[in-house]
């Protein structure tokens, strides 16, 4: 590692996912190769091209907060974030220290890669329809605006704004440090974790609550992704729909949830006797600068990103014991990601286990990277790597060891986690067993 | 710290807003006390309580694009078009030979907010799916008949990361690429992030910006529900009144500001003309919404700049012109500068342009750079009598000469996310 950089460790983690509403239950479900995908219940999707998703069921914010008033008007995205943040901070042991002022709240920041709130589809589209004259194909805007102002709910409209989740977490936990949110599609929470790492390394802050939350399981979300033909339409077999690296893959499966981590400067953690789960050692981000709809066919951005993260962590490809792939189950991503791994890892590429947990819990979009990093930490701690399920038909262009269909006992000391966003943002993180 | 080794300078800028389409003309309008706030003409706003805004009339992104790239405009909402156009202007302003740039160290960091859907794109689908007798949309019909009549790339026109993505694609910028979405402070946070990326040596040349356009039926219907807004239709140019006792609320504007931020040696080696130096950045959250967080952000930024509060010529404030926010900002500035023998002068561009949301931070920072270049600070338009609840000394009436080398630029959200940037005059 470069001289002068402070080391950063993970001292708390929390997760709300379709596979479980805690880190333990999520990871256990992964080891059991379970799928969290089922028919959409959040809205009537019977006639949509895709009728299934990986939803978080039976979520009750009251499990984590006595008083949930602050989150009354928030979308589920912010509620998932709150629950995951509470878990992570509780595990870190910092809540008590914050309350007594023993941890400096002003050197405690937030960096999220969280998504937008859920748009009021019903009222927005109803008001649009009411003000539309199909014979002239024009909208009567005065009619629309009057109607919208009557039917929209002011508080929930405000909570849809993109800075809302981070604001509530800072307000509730009293965190006075820098407060960031980035939204780089599917790379967002991984990028947030990387930038949080950088802020601690160079001394801007000592602790950051970092991660992401998102839900796009709503009519606009499914409409948008269906129009882009990005989603699987395997309606006769939802559990078999997310099949990263399988030749018959036909798109990703939409999911929702949150992943939050407490990143802490090593000496700060040691001084308070914190339990250290792992060390975040490497981060790099690049852009494909190619097309908004496709990744670069030769994986130009992904290659530079993976190589950069390994360099930043000071590890060689041979030291990486596990790759948590972006592995979306789209034709292009899985082919290009495999190509990029082979380019960076060379001869070693075929012997490093590499799986996609999106096969089990779908794609949490902005929140995906954080949940995947948590998975890497758990995999190291337990000495077991989660599988890629639904892997049945080898694809000649995807010829790596994807840990097919069942978990595998392997000790890994360094893990690589990839996240590639729609539009071309690439982020790779390296997390390492804490070796003192 | 490494930031002191790798220095960041501004070598170009592109800006668009209601009062001009380049930094010099915007600064001149500010200097002349011209407001771009007028009755909304982009759509019929008579159904809204708010019918004024700082809108850009006659903006056509095609004028800023090379012919071969123009077809891309159809997948860009107005906000994204503003970002693409301003970036083009910024690159021209810095006179870089793009072919000589290391593309892997060319970053694009933008601030952005929610982008509202344009209703004509969805109206057909909505109409087909409406059940008038039940007063609602039938999702079953939407799925069968609605979705197929929407353009396939519809969603891509509105994703907030598309400002930075489209800019990176047009200019082959393969370095770090991020989209900061903290509302009105997003642009300044993007500047801070750029300084950090430069500190860790992952880039040398950056387009750093923010863009926003909320002058449309959906955004204004929403915004007017939850943000206190000025309604003054009879004399709109007087509506936005930062720190003034008669202020009555926010006036929306639209626009974009893009800076070329470059590592000093990189700029020198290509013979770039340097406009100013970015010497400090601070960010904080104002937990109690009393100005303490704003003050902390300013102090952190001054510390990083190695500067004393007495080195600061003036503060280029956010100055929303709303009741609570102006008080918070005033207290924050007063607290940060309380050790100065004389109060720090404060000014803001806001009354000329309206509030440009995620664009405001970088757009206003660009006008601060113009102040450094010209040695003169324009007054705050429409500021006559300072609200006694706002402990600030506002520059009003006439422009004043700059006396000191530093400007502090502040920005914040009404929910408490704060940031400050320190600019220093470049003396060669």
Q: How many helices (H) and strands (E) does chain A have?
A: 14, 16
Task: Give the CA count within 13 Å in the CB-facing half-sphere of B376.
Answer: 11
Q: Report residue A318 as tokens.
A: 């041979």
> Is residue A4 included in any domain, yes or no?
no
> Is residue A5 included in any domain, yes or no?
no
How many whole angstroms separate alpha carbon B120 and alpha carbon A73?
29
One domain, residues A131 and A41? no
Among B373, B117, B40, CA closest to A223: B117
The per-residue pLDDT for A373 is 98
Under an 8 A CB cutoff, do B174 and A105 touch? no
Q: Is the pLDDT of residue B121 over 60?
A: yes
Identify which of A106, A152, A184 has the shortest CB distance to residue B179: A184
Task: Give the CA count within 13 Å in the CB-facing half-sphere of B277.
Answer: 19
Q: Is the pLDDT of residue B4 over 60?
A: no
For A125-176, what is each residue's pLDDT tens digit?
999 999 999 999 999 999 999 999 999 999 999 999 999 999 999 999 999 9
The per-residue pLDDT for B351 is 98
Under an 8 A CB cutoff, do B155 and A224 touch? yes
One domain, residues A203 and A294? yes
How many whole angstroms separate alpha carbon A26 and alpha carbon A396?
31
How many whole angstroms separate alpha carbon B72 and alpha carbon B131?
36
Residue at a domain's end among A131, A159, A187: A159
Identify which of B125, B168, B287 has the shortest CB distance to residue A176: B287
Interior CA angle at B238 toward B235 and B241, to 5°? 150
One domain, residues A129 and A260? no
Q: Report residue A265 as tokens.
A: 């400067």
How many whole angstroms separate alpha carbon A223 and alpha carbon B121?
13
One domain, residues A334 and A203? yes
Q: Which residues of B touch A138 (CB under 8 A)?
A: 120
Chain A contact probe: residue of B79, B136, B174, B193 with most A CBs at under 10 A? B174
One domain, residues A219 and A282? yes
Q: How confident is the model at residue A1 (pLDDT cuts 50, 70, 90)?
A: very low
- Type and span of the H or E element at A257: strand A256-265
Cross-strand bridge partners of residue A132? A139
Q: Is the pLDDT of residue B230 over 70?
A: yes
B156 Cβ under 8 Å from any chain A Cβ = yes
Show which of residues 17-76 on chain A sit within 8 Å of chain B, judged by CB atoms.
43-49
Q: Report residue B397 as tokens.
A: 């009436």
Length of chain A equals 436
Instruction: Report the complex ipTM.
Output: 0.97
Q: Are B347 and B314 in contact (CB under 8 A)?
A: yes
SS3 B210: strand
Q: What are phi and psi of B123, to 5 degrees?
A: -65, -40
The per-residue pLDDT for B2 is 42
> Is residue A72 included in any domain, yes or no?
yes
> Is residue A336 included in any domain, yes or no?
yes
One domain, residues A141 and A169? no
How many whole angstroms separate alpha carbon B185 and alpha carbon B294?
12
Nearest CA in chain A to B111: A182
Q: Are A290 and A296 in contact (CB under 8 A)?
A: yes
Q: How confident is the model at residue A293 (pLDDT cuts 50, 70, 90)?
A: confident
Of A25-39, A312-326, B223-237, B250-264, the one with minimum mean pLDDT is B223-237
Cross-strand bridge partners of residue B346? B315, B394
For A105-128, what is each residue's pLDDT tens digit?
999 999 999 999 999 999 999 999
Containing structural domain, residue A197: 10-117+160-432
Running DSSP on this structure, what letter comes out for residue B274? P
Residue A179 vs residues A109, A158, A195, B414, B419: alpha-carbon distances, Å? 6, 18, 12, 13, 9
Within 10 A of B149 (CB to CB), how many other CB atoms are there?
15
State how far residue A317 is from chain B, nearest Cα, in angstroms: 21
Q: What is the CATH number of the domain that holds A41?
A: 3.40.47.10
Q: Which residues of B touch A47 (CB under 8 A)?
A: 139-144
> Is residue A213 included in any domain, yes or no?
yes
Residue A304 vs residues A283, A285, A311, A374, B202: alpha-carbon distances, Å? 12, 8, 10, 23, 12
> Is residue A312 included in any domain, yes or no?
yes
For A70-95, what is each residue's pLDDT tens digit?
999 999 999 999 999 999 999 999 99
Cβ-count burial of B306 within 10 angstroms (0-12 exposed, 13-18 middle, 19+ buried)? exposed
SS3 A256: strand
> How would you label A312-348 residue by residue, b for 16+ Cβ within 10 Å and e otherwise?
bbebebebbbbbbbbbbbbeebbbbbbbbbbbbbeee
Q: Which residues of A touch B222 (CB under 8 A)?
A: 148, 152, 157
Cross-strand bridge partners of residue B377? B400
One domain, residues A255 and A144? no
For A196-220, what is each residue's pLDDT tens digit?
999 999 999 999 999 999 999 999 9
Show which of residues 90-129 on chain B sit within 8 Å of chain A, judged by CB atoms.
103-104, 108, 112-114, 117, 119-120, 122-127, 129
Show which of residues 7-66 on chain B sit within 8 Å of chain A, judged by CB atoms.
43-49
Q: Which residues of B touch A141 (CB under 8 A)?
A: 43-45, 47, 217
The per-residue pLDDT for A230 is 97
Under an 8 A CB cutoff, do B169 and A137 touch? no
A1 Cβ under 8 Å from any chain B Cβ = no
C-alpha dihedral over A392, A397, A402, A406, to 10 degrees? 0
How many whole angstroms separate alpha carbon A99 and alpha carbon B392?
34
* Structural domains for chain B: 8-118+154-269 (3.40.47.10), 119-149 (no CATH), 276-425 (3.40.47.10)
One domain, residues A151 and A282? no
Residue carrying the six token digits 């939802």: A238
A163 Cβ under 8 Å from any chain B Cβ = yes
Among A409, A330, A332, A414, CA closest to A373: A414
Q: Is the pLDDT of residue A2 over 70?
A: no
For A314-331, what is each residue's pLDDT tens digit?
999 999 999 999 999 999
One domain, residues A72 and A131? no
Chain A contact probe: residue of B69, B162, B222 with most A CBs at under 10 A? B222
Residue at a domain's end among A159, A183, A216: A159
One domain, residues A176 and A267? yes
Q: How confident is the model at residue B428 (pLDDT cuts 50, 70, 90)?
A: confident
Under an 8 A CB cutoff, do B161 and A184 touch? yes
A219 Cβ under 8 Å from any chain B Cβ = yes
Residue at a domain's end among A159, A189, A219: A159
State how far residue B337 is from chain A, nearest Cα, in angstroms: 19
Name every residue whose Cβ is closer than 8 Å to that of residue A179 and which is 6 or more positions away in sequence: A109, A110, A166, A167, A170, B182, B283, B284, B285, B416, B417
> Is residue A201 included in any domain, yes or no?
yes
B228 Cβ under 8 Å from any chain A Cβ = no
A428 Cβ under 8 Å from any chain B Cβ = no
Under an 8 A CB cutoff, do B178 and A195 touch? yes
Show which of residues 354-383 on chain B sit within 8 Å of chain A, judged by CB atoms.
none
How many whole angstroms separate alpha carbon B392 and alpha carbon B291?
13
One domain, residues A21 and A139? no
Q: Are B109 and B192 in contact (CB under 8 A)?
A: no
Interior CA angle at A177 toward A174 and A100, to 5°? 40
Q: Which residues of B touch A144 (CB under 8 A)?
A: 47, 119, 217, 221
For B259-284, what is each residue's pLDDT tens digit?
999 999 999 999 999 999 999 999 99
Show which of residues 323-362 on chain A sit within 8 Å of chain B, judged by CB atoms.
none
Q: How confident is the model at residue A4 (pLDDT cuts 50, 70, 90)?
A: low
User: How many domains does chain A fold into?
Assistant: 2
State the helix-helix crossing angle for A188-201 and A368-382, rounded to 10 degrees.
70
One domain, residues A153 and A181? no
Running DSSP on this structure, what letter comes out for residue A179? E
- Mean of all residue pLDDT scores within chain B: 96
Within 10 A of A231 (CB to CB), how many other CB atoms are there?
27
């Amino acid at each position: 590692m470069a001289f002068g950089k402070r080391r950063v460790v993970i001292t708390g983690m929390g997760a709300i996912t379709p596979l479980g509403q805690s880190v333990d239950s999520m990871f256990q479900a992964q080891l059991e190769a379970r799928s969290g995908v089922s028919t959409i219940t959040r809205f009537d999707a019977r006639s949509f091209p895709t009728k299934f998703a990986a939803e978080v069921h039976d979520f009750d914010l009251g499990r984590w907060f006595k008083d949930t008033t602050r989150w009354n008007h928030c979308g589920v995205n912010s509620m998932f974030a709150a629950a995951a943040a509470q878990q992570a901070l509780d595990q870190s042991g910092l809540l008590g220290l914050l309350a007594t002022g023993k941890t400096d709240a002003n050197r405690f920041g937030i960096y999220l890669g969280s998504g937008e709130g859920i748009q009021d589809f019903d009222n927005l589209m109803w008001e649009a329809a009411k003000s539309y004259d199909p014979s002239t194909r024009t909208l009567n805007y005065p009619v629309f605006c009057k109607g919208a102002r009557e039917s929209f709910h002011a508080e929930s409209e405000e909570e849809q704004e993109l800075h809302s989740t981070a604001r509530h977490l800072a307000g509730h936990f009293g965190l006075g440090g820098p407060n960031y949110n980035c939204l780089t599609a599917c790379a967002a929470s991984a990028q947030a974790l990387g930038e949080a790492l950088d802020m601690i390394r160079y001394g801007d802050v000592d602790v950051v609550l970092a991660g992401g939350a998102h839900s796009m399981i709503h009519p606009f979300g499914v409409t948008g992704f269906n129009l882009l033909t990005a989603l699987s339409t395997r309606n006769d077999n939802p559990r078999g729909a997310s099949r990263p690296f399988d030749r018959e893959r036909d798109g990703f499966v939409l999911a929702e949830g949150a992943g939050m981590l407490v990143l802490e400067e090593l000496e700060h953690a040691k001084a308070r006797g914190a339990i250290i789960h792992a060390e975040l050692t490497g981060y790099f981000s690049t852009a494909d600068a190619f097309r908004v709809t496709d990744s670069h066919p030769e994986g130009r951005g992904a290659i530079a990103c993976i190589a950069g993260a390994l360099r930043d962590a000071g590890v060689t490809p041979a030291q990486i014991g596990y790759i948590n792939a972006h592995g979306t189950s789209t034709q292009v991503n899985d082919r290009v990601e495999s190509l990029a791994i082979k380019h960076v890892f060379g001869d070693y590429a075929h012997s490093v286990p590499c799986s996609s947990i999106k096969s089990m819990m779908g794609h949490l979009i902005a929140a995906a990277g954080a949940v995947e990093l948590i998975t890497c930490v758990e995999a190291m701690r337990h000495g077991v790597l989660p599988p890629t399920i639904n892997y049945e038909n080898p694809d000649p262009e995807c010829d790596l060891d994807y840990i097919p269909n069942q978990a595998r006992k392997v000790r890994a000391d360094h893990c690589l986690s990839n996240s590639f966003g729609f539009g071309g943002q690439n982020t790779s993180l390296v997390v390492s067993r804490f070796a003192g | 710290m490494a930031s002191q080794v790798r220095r960041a300078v501004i070598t170009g800028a592109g800006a668009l807003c209601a009062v001009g389409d380049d930094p010099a003309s915007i600064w001149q309008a500010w200097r002349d006390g011209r407001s771009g706030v007028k009755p909304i003409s982009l759509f019929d706003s008579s159904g809204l309580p708010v019918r004024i805004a700082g809108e850009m009339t006659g903006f056509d992104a095609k004028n800023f694009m090379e012919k071969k790239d123009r077809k891309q405009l159809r997948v860009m909402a107005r906000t994204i078009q503003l970002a693409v156009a301003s970036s083009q202007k910024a690159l021209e302003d810095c006179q870089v030979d793009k072919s000589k740039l290391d593309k892997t160290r060319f970053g694009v960091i933008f601030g952005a907010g929610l982008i509202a859907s344009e209703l004509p794109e969805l109206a057909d689908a909505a109409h087909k799916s409406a059940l008038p007798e039940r007063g609602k949309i039938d999702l079953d019909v939407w799925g069968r008949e609605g979705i197929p009549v929407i353009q396939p790339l519809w969603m891509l026109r509105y994703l907030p990361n598309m400002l930075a993505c489209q800019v990176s694609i047009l200019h082959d910028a393969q370095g770090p690429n991020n989209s900061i979405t903290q509302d009105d402070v997003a642009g300044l946070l993007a500047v801070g992030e750029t300084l950090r990326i430069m500190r860790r040596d992952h880039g040398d040349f950056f387009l750093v910006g923010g863009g926003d356009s909320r002058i449309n039926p959906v955004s204004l219907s929403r915004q007017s529900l939850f943000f206190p807004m000025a309604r003054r239709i009879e004399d709109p140019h007087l509506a936005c009144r930062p720190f003034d006792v008669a202020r009555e609320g926010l006036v929306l504007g639209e626009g974009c500001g893009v800076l070329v931020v470059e590592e000093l040696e990189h700029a020198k080696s290509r013979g770039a003309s340097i406009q100013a130096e970015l010497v400090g950045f601070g960010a904080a959250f104002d937990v109690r919404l009393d100005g303490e967080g704003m003050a902390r952000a300013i102090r952190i930024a001054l510390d990083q700049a190695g500067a004393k509060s007495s080195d600061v010529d003036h503060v280029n404030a956010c100055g929303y012109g709303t009741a609570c926010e102006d008080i918070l900002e005033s207290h924050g500035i007063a607290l940060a500068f309380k050790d100065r023998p004389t109060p720090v002068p404060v000014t803001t561009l806001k009354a000329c342009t309206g509030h440009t949301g995620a664009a405001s931070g970088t757009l206003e920072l660009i006008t601060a750079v113009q102040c450094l270049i010209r040695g003169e600070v324009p007054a705050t338009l429409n500021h006559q009598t300072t609200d006694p609840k706002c402990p600030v000394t506002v520059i009003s009436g006439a422009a004043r000469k700059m006396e000191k080398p530093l400007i502090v630029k502040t920005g914040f959200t009404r929910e408490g996310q704060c940031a400050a940037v320190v600019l220093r005059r470049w003396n060669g």
